[in-house]
């Protein structure tokens, strides 16, 4: 049989994987090694060579986009429709299975699938019925708990609280939630997988049918499977030894959302008669980039092991830039991108990758300042994020309580027990008497028309806003923002969210304080507006600047987690500092540290031609000044593949300038980055950077209360702090 159309375009290792015997197979596919091609050609090989009907093939992916791409490529390769195959995501295939066997799954034929918001609404309602105070028992925390139990295959009746009050309460919520969903014929996303697993496990005839039907089962991104997904796969393939999985243990970066890297190791134990093929030839990156990735990831323990290589040559060395601070970092990155565009490159070929969403703000501001179109991939721009909008709403109300949109946004955020009926009555009164919502609320309280609980809750909110306005009158801008985000309860609200999303929201609120500290208040053009009002206007204008369209030539900004599966000719991996990347939480946890290193590996292997790594010698992040050490990941890279753009060192200046011999720090002649200083007007600060010589010598200082200032050293009269 002529199989040239299937294997001619493949390299030796890809051919080995595609034409392997019909047995359990683990394909360790390195970044950029053509894993999707191998999956597609393996399916084609089964159909054309092993004469397996498309009806007998199952292929599982993690996104609808990947499933559609796989289906289209199979149809193109075989020149025949792929409708008979089951190709889809875990959730999509589980839903299909439950629709076809709803009765056996103990579901009504008309069962409905809920999204995350609908699920949260139900949990909020039943927690209210259980008389639980949502300030002590946040509904989002209960939602996270329920979904986590389902991902582990655990029903509420199987939970053991072990005498723990928290677990006992969560079990009660879980039991009540299951009862509501069963009575209402509702299924959440986690339930799709758990119910599909139980359907097959508890119906022997049905399981036997699907085991016979799916003669070959294929899985993409196997390292990202969780407990229930792997259990479902094992159930389908047990005894048949027909599971073909493609994955990369070095790219397992979703442990925080339930992915089990252990699955890729346990595969060998659960399928002892298996084969392994390593795809190590990379078609994306240059030799220097791959050498850096290989050397970095070798520091992790318990790897399956592989060494990426390319036939495309060494390419340019990786550039390492040590910035003075986060502003200098953003300036450097954006200027390099602008140079790339001037040299004929596209903005869409470039990406800025960061560990934390809060880091995006500095780059967004610099990109807007230079009128460079950009797009935040997989997320919102800084001033469009929910927690930032909530904080800004509190700030607006503190200066203008008659701001109706802001009033509506936060009157019950965090939850205070102000119900929908109270708000509806307030809106009606405001509309009928042409009042602001604030005035309507005061009128309702004065008329004693509200129940005691609602009245107390509403009065508490109004008093909070009044207090915010009074206590922040004499504070600086950044102190005002700090006071508002803390006193409003927003920080505590998001701290209660156990997933990384809550942590990211807190980081963004702390970064808002930093944005206020660095805000450049132009009093001459303020048009009688105070600093806070100007800052709020600035935030509104930035949020109003729409992102570039999907098809527009834009710089791409994204977290490292969002970057997986993507590639760019020019990549900036920023913020490589201890406590930021790797994250602070990972520094004392060996398992998390290894996942952070895998995340760095993923970031490095996104680059095709040029890779820049940056870190800052001083950084104000989450509202705090720090002078972090460079990330350990930088020290783990091969020196021969790294080119430093600027050395990290103390900055020495000549003392020949007579003016600089005057009183104060200028007489010392040698200055260090990070050196504490004191100024008569601006108070205490820290040296960030210096430039120029003689009378033109300038020093940039981050003052504790006045923010960042450039001063002429000859006239600054600085003293050591």
- How many whole angstroms separate alpha carbon 657 and alpha carbon 672? 19
DSSP 8-class letter at 630: B
Task: Determine if residue 36 is labeled as part of a ligand binding site.
Answer: yes
Number of Cβ within 10 Å of residue 434's Cβ equals 8
Residues 6+ apart with CB under 8 A from 462: 401, 438, 441, 442, 445
| 592 φ/ψ sector (left φ>0, alpha ψ -120 to 50, else beta) | alpha
669 is in an annotated binding site: no
Parallel, antiparallel or unpaired: strands 243-247 and 216-219? parallel
Q: Give the residue from 696, 699, 717 showing the smallest Cα distance to 708.
A: 699
Question: Could you give the CA distance from residue 538 to residue 195 in angstroms, rounded to a whole number?
Answer: 50
DSSP 548-600: PPTTS--EEEEEHHHHTT--EEEEEE---BTBBTTBGGGTT-HHHHHHHHHHH
- Evaluate whether 317 touches 288 at the Cβ level (below 8 Å): yes
32 is annotated as contributing to ligand binding: yes
Say whether 315 counts as a known binding-site residue.
Answer: no
- Residue 31, annotated as binding a ligand: yes
The gap from C-alpha 279 to its chain's centroid, in whole angstroms, comes to 28
Shortest CA distance to 335 belongs to which of 362, 372, 375, 361? 372
Bond from prior residue into 648 cis (ω within 30 degrees of 0): no
Interatomic CA distance for residues 179 and 139, integer angstroms: 17
Residue with tokens 């015997």: 21
Three-state SS across 19-42? Answer: CCCCCEEEEEECCCCCHHHHHHHH
- Rounded (5°) CA angle 25-154-136: 130
30 annotated ligand binder: yes
**Which of 194, 506, 504, 529 has the alpha carbon at shortest distance from 378?**
504
Catalytic machinery residues: 35-36, 220-221, 251, 606
| 346 conformational bin, left if phi > 0, alpha if psi -120 to 50, beta if neither | beta
In terms of Cα–Cα distance, which of 618, 605, 694, 596 is closest to 300?
Answer: 596
Chain-centroid distance, C-alpha 26: 29
Say which residues have a Cβ less than 8 Å from residue 486's Cβ, sequence separation at least 6. none
Q: In whole angstroms, give the CA distance from residue 566 to residue 568.
A: 7
Instruction: List 304's β-bridge partners, or say none.
Output: none
DSSP 308-357: -B-SS---SPEEEEEESSHHHHHHHHHHHHHHHHHTT--GGGEEEEESSG
Tokens at residue 175, please? 């039991």
If you compute the radius of gyration of the chain from its CA atoms, what whole number of angstroms results?
29
Q: How far is CA 30 from the centre of its chain?
A: 23
Contact 62, 254 (CB under 8 A): no
In 3-state terms, what secondary structure has residue 371? coil
Q: Which helix (H) or strand (E) holds 295?
A: helix 287-297
Quickly list DSSP for 594-621: HHHHHHHHHHHTTEEEEEEEEEESSEEE
**Cα(195)–Cα(284) distance, rounded to whole angstroms?**
40
Residue set of the binding site for ATP: 29-36
> Which residue ranges are tagged as binding site?
29-36
């Amino acid at each position: 049989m002529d199989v040239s159309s299937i294997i001619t375009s493949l390299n030796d290792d890809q051919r080995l994987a595609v034409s392997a015997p019909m047995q359990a197979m683990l394909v360790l596919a390195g970044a950029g090694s053509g894993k999707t091609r191998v999956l597609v050609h393996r399916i084609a090989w089964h159909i054309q060579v092993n004469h397996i009907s498309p009806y007998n093939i199952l292929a599982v992916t993690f996104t609808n986009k990947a499933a559609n791409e796989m289906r289209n490529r199979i149809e193109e390769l075989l020149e025949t429709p792929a409708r008979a195959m089951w190709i889809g995501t875990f959730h999509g295939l589980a839903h299909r299975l439950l629709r076809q066997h709803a009765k056996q799954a103990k579901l009504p034929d008309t069962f409905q699938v809920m999204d995350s918001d609908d699920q949260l609404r139900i949990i909020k309602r039943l927690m209210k019925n259980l008389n639980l105070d949502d300030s002590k028992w946040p509904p989002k925390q209960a939602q996270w708990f329920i979904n986590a139990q389902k991902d582990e295959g655990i029903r509420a009746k199987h939970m053991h609280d072990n005498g723990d009050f928290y677990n006992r309460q969560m079990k009660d919520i879980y039991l009540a939630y299951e009862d509501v969903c069963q009575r209402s014929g509702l299924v959440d996303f986690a339930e799709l997988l758990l119910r599909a697993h139980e359907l097959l496990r508890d119906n022997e005839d049905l399981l036997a049918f699907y085991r016979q039907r799916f003669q070959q089962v294929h899985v993409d991104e196997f390292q990202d499977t969780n407990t229930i997904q792997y259990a479902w796969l094992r159930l389908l393939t047990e005894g048949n030894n027909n599971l073909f999985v493609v994955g990369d243990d070095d790219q397992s970066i979703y442990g925080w959302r339930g992915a089990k890297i252990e699955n890729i190791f346990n595969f060998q134990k659960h399928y002892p008669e298996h084969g392994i093929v390593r795809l190590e030839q990379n078609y994306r990156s240059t030799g220097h980039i791959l050498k850096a990735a290989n050397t970095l990831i070798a520091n992790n323990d318990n790897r399956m092991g592989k060494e990426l290589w390319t036939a495309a040559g060494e390419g340019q060395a990786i550039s390492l830039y040590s910035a003075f601070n986060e502003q200098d970092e953003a300036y450097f990155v954006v200027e390099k991108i602008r140079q790339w565009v001037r040299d004929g490159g596209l903005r869409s070929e470039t990406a800025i990758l960061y560990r934390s969403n809060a880091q995006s703000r500095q780059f967004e501001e610099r990109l807007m300042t230079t009128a460079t179109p950009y797009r935040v991939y997989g997320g919102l721009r800084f001033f469009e994020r929910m927690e930032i909008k909530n904080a800004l709403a509190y700030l607006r109300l503190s200066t203008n309580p008659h701001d109706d949109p802001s009033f509506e946004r936060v009157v019950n955020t965090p939850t205070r027990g102000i119900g929908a009926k109270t708000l509806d009555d307030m809106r009606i009164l405001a509309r009928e008497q042409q009042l602001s919502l604030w005035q309507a609320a005061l009128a309702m309280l004065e008329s004693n028309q509200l129940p005691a609980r609602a009245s107390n809750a509403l009065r508490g909110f109004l008093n909070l806003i009044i207090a915010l306005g009074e206590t922040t009158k004499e504070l600086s801008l950044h102190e005002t923002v700090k006071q508002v985000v803390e006193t409003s309860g927003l920080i505590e609200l998001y701290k209660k969210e156990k997933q990384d999303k809550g942590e990211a929201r807190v980081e963004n609120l702390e970064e808002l304080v930093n944005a206020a500290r660095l805000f450049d208040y132009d009093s001459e053009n303020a048009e009688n507006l105070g600093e806070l009002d100007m800052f709020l206007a600035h935030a509104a204008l930035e949020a109003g600047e729409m992102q570039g369209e999907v098809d527009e030539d834009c710089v791409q900004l994204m977290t490292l987690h969002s970057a997986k599966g993507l590639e760019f000719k020019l990549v900036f991996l920023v913020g490589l500092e201890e406590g930021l990347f790797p994250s602070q939480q990972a520094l004392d946890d060996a398992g998390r540290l290894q996942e952070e290193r895998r995340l760095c590996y993923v970031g490095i292997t996104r680059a095709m031609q040029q890779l820049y790594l940056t870190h800052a010698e001083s950084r104000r992040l989450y509202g705090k000044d720090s002078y972090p050490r460079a990330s350990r990941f930088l020290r783990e890279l091969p020196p021969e593949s790294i080119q430093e753009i600027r050395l990290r060192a103390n900055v020495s200046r000549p003392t020949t300038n007579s003016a600089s011999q005057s009183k104060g720090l200028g007489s010392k002649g040698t200055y260090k980055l990070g050196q504490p200083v004191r100024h008569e007007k601006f108070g205490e600060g820290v040296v960030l950077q210096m430039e120029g010589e003689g009378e033109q010598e300038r020093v940039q200082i981050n003052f504790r209360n006045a923010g960042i200032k450039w001063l002429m050293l000859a006239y600054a009269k600085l003293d050591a702090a």
